[in-house]
Copies of this chain bind each other. A is one copy, B any other.
Amino acid sequence: MKLKDLARELGLSLTTVSRALNNYPEVSDDTRARVKRVADRVGYQPNIIARGLAVGEIGAIAVMVPKESTSYLDPDTIEFLVGIAEVLAPAGQDILLVQSSRDESLETCRNIIESRRADAIIICYPAPVDSRVRFLADANFPFVVYGKSRTPVAHTWVDIDHRDAAFRSTAFLFERGHEKIAAIEGPVQFAFAEERMAGIRRAFDQFELPPCIINDTFCDYTGYEHTLRLLRQASPPTAFVYGSLLSAIGGGRAIRELGKQERIAVVTQDNGVPYLSPKNILPRMTMTSFPIREAAKRVAQQTIRMMDVNAAIETESWKPRLISIAQSGRD
């Protein structure tokens, strides 16, 4: 069923039918009513491609999430996607899920905008300096970044204040008398990892101690292995900071295995993933917490806003709550 068929059935011209369906003001109310009624009855659906070609929009937004060869869509990324979907679906925008590894990300990005596969792009977890940002800004293509990068181009982004969160996490432990603290953080190829490291370093500087930071993929076994290794050292840490609950879970396992769960303090970043409840984890952990789903909603709203031709650039930084848990430690 195409527009032409519908027009023939109604005895109207193609144009009038189109206008009636798209709520143009110049069609009479009863014509519009009649058109819509019949369209509804015969189940007419406009061909989205033809419409896209005519209007120059496709009704979809691409979400670029990182793909590393050994990795998977982690729970945080998923929660992010869920938040995006919650805003975009009611807005009638489809989501184009695009995974791309670091070195092909610019190419993928180009591909999306030149083939007009999407009307806007959301970049999730940018690199410290991300080539896509300049490219998209130059191309004047609507985009929003989830993550504060150092890319020297004005652009709209939303992020959690990772630097502040990491600083407070570390300081929290220092203030409780810990002197040997280890941080298990994410890969340096991501901006947020850099931000967290800056916060952690500041805390170490302030308490005049040399930093101990490890960077690796966030997942159970990396958290486990690094923690185990560190705890087996001659003078092991008495406290750990984890950049992700995933690593913290693995780290917690290592701590339990060594029977140290009463003597090691832990602070972790928590993104509020419902099924990764810290309640299940031992040892108990203090956390900096911000629901990534809410951040994602803001990203989506900003993206819709940026699709307006003369939208201004905005940035948003959200501070996580510190949820202090009575736990073991040196004090």
Q: Which residues of A contact B (CB under 8 A)?
A: 1, 43-50, 52-53, 58, 60, 72-75, 78-79, 81-82, 85, 89, 94-99, 110-111, 114-117, 219-221, 246, 249-250, 252-253, 274-275, 277, 279-281, 293
Bound form: Cα–Cα A44–B253 in Å: 52
| B219 in contact with A116 (CB, 8 Å) | no
Residue of B nearest to A249 (CB): B280
What is the distance, in angstroms, from A282's C-beta to the closest C-beta of chain B? 9
> What residues of chain B lie closer than 8 Å to A50, measured between beta carbons?
53
User: Within the complex, which residue of B45, B81, B85 is in contact with A111, where a contact is CB–CB below 8 Å?
Assistant: B45
Copy total for this chain: 2
User: Within the complex, which residue of B75, B117, B280 is in contact with A48, where a contact is CB–CB below 8 Å?
Assistant: B117
Bound form: Cα–Cα A85–B77 in Å: 15
What is the distance, in angstroms, from A88's C-beta to the closest C-beta of chain B? 10
> What residues of chain B lie closer than 8 Å to A58, measured between beta carbons?
49
User: Within the complex, which residue of B1, B81, B277, B280 is in contact with A114, where a contact is CB–CB below 8 Å?
Assistant: B1
Query: Contacts A73-B81, A82-B73, A111-B45 hold; do A95 and B96 have CB atoms under 8 A apart?
Result: yes
> What residues of chain B lie closer than 8 Å to A252, measured between beta carbons?
280
User: Within the complex, which residue of B43, B45, B274 is in contact with A219, where a contact is CB–CB below 8 Å?
Assistant: B274
| B275 in contact with A75 (CB, 8 Å) | yes
> What residues of chain B lie closer than 8 Å to A72, measured between beta carbons?
79, 82, 274-275, 293
What is the distance, in angstroms, from A44's C-beta to the closest C-beta of chain B? 8
